[in-house]
């Protein structure tokens, strides 16, 4: 019975991990890939847990502790230092507002009414429009905050 349970559970986990890999390949932004990578790490933890449960092996349990630690550190680090990406080939569908650099430099009115709050304070905090975008100010602001 336990073997059949192991086969089914491992298959489900493997398909989930495969779908996460699909999202990592496809994901338009860095953060989508981070999220999918989180799913992949957790699927790996689950697979090791299933292995430990089926074969009643105690020594795989510390691997679970280490893996969950490392996955958290990775995703938080990427999310913390994610910068504004230039809209390349597939990213245009994900963002709606104008380019942050264009909004800060030209001062042109944003097209969508929802993005007024996005672009407004940005033009003030970003400083001059000489910079390509407000990402350096963004990153340093986040560093100051914590």
Residues 32-91 that bind another protein (CB under 8 A): 32, 34-36, 38-39, 42-43, 45-46, 49-50, 52-54, 56, 58, 61-62, 64-65, 68-69, 72, 75-76, 79-80, 82-85
Which tokens sit at 59?
A: 């020594």
For position 118 contacting another protein by CB under 8 A, the verdict is yes
Minimal distance, residue 130 CB to another protein, in Å: 20
Residue 100 CB coordination number (10 Å) = 20
State the nearest-atom distance from the C-beta of 32 to another protein, in Å. Answer: 6
CB of 21 to another protein, least distance (A): 9
CA distance 42 to 49: 10
Q: Which of 121, 128, 130, 146 binds another protein (CB under 8 A)?
A: 121
Nearest residue to 127 via CA among 115, 117, 136? 136
Q: Site residues for another protein, window 4-23 (CB under 8 A)? A: 5-6, 8-10, 12-13, 15-20, 22-23
CA atoms of 48 and 38, how far apart (whole Å): 16
CA distance 146 to 141: 9
CB of residue 86 to another protein, shortest distance in Å: 11
**Containing H/E element for 138?**
helix 135-145
Residue 131 lies near another protein (rule: CB under 8 A) = no
Residue pair 135/82 in contact (Cβ under 8 Å)? The answer is: no
CB of 87 to another protein, least distance (A): 10
């Amino acid at each position: 019975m336990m073997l059949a349970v192991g086969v089914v559970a491992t298959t489900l986990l493997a398909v989930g991990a495969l779908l996460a890999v699909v999202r990592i390949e496809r994901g338009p932004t860095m953060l989508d890939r981070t999220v999918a990578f989180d799913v992949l790490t957790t699927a790996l933890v689950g697979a090791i847990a299933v292995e430990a449960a089926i074969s009643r092996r105690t020594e795989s349990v510390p691997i679970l502790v280490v893996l969950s630690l490392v996955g958290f550190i990775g995703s938080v680090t990427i999310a913390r230092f994610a910068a504004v990406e230039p809209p390349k080939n597939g990213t245009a569908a994900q963002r709606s507002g104008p380019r942050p650099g264009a909004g800060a430099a030209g001062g042109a009115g944003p097209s969508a009414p929802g993005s007024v709050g996005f672009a407004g304070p940005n033009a003030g905090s970003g400083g001059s429009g000489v910079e390509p975008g407000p990402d350096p100010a963004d990153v340093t602001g986040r560093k100051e905050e914590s």
